[in-house]
Amino acid sequence: MPRSSALTEQTPGDLARLVTFSDAVVAIAATLLVLPLAENAAQGGMPTLGEIVAESGGQILLLLLGFFVICRFWLNHHDIMRNLVTFDAPLFWANAVWMVSIVLLPFTTGLIGTSDSSDPATTGLYIGNMLITCLAALAMEWHVTRTPSLQTPETRGTARLTGGVVAAIALAIALVLAVLVPAVGPWALLLLAVDGFVTKALRRRTEKPGSPRK
């Protein structure tokens, strides 16, 4: 298969188009999270606000959790892309995998909301979806660190994989925990609330004073 000229003969605006495309995918995925709630509100007669909350309370919590996770993924993606001056084929395809996994998040979130949240298969698919997103971002970070020509001159050599590795480990532990202890369900994702502290602690132990950080 011939390689696309868009990946080999880029114009100055191509990176901006890739970032805009990725941002649009995130925005659409975040919007789609609310569709199950909209369907519940539209079903049958004129339900009161209390009835809607009583019937959809679990889905509302999942919506908030899913939105929080998508925001975290977007922030990580933003950190990767903002220091680039161009991209190449490996980075493009790793980003494509990242976008596919983001697109699937409303679907896997909907599965949790419409089925038994303690079902290990459903929860495993939900958290596994997020783990793929995290691993795709980590692959992007790894490729960027190995390809300094993709980065702006002032940021070359400053990229760190610590945050991505810690987040991937946290999601992997959450996946194992949710599958082995079904009662925990998707709340195993609360492990993500502490991975930032772990990352900072590891960086303080491994980085030399005065070294550049990201």
Q: What pLDDT, in 10s, does the model give residues 24-65?
A: 999 999 988 877 666 655 555 555 555 555 555 567 777 788
Work out how many domains the chain is built from and give that number.
1
Residue 142 lies in a domain: yes
Mean pLDDT across the stretch 105-128?
Answer: 82
Residue 197 lies in a domain: yes
Residue 211 lies in a domain: no
Identify the pLDDT of residue 41.
56
Structure tokens at 145: 């660190």
Identify the pLDDT of residue 213.
47
Among 66, 44, 64, 65, smallest CA distance to 55 is for 44
Of 68 and 43, the structure prediction assigns the larger pLDDT to 68
Per-residue pLDDT tens over the stretch 9-31 = 676 689 999 999 999 999 999 98
**CA gyration radius, the chain:** 20
Domain that holds residue 122: 10-206
CB 140 within 8 A of CB 161: no
Residue 2 lies in a domain: no
Residue 51 lies in a domain: yes
Residue 3 lies in a domain: no
Among 171, 148, 140, smallest CA distance to 77 is for 140
pTM of the shown model: 0.80
Residue 24 lies in a domain: yes
> Minimum mean pLDDT among 70-74, 109-113, 138-142: which range?
109-113
Residue 75 lies in a domain: yes
CB 37 within 8 A of CB 63: yes
Of 138 and 116, the structure prediction assigns the larger pLDDT to 138
Mean pLDDT rounded to a whole number for the chain: 81
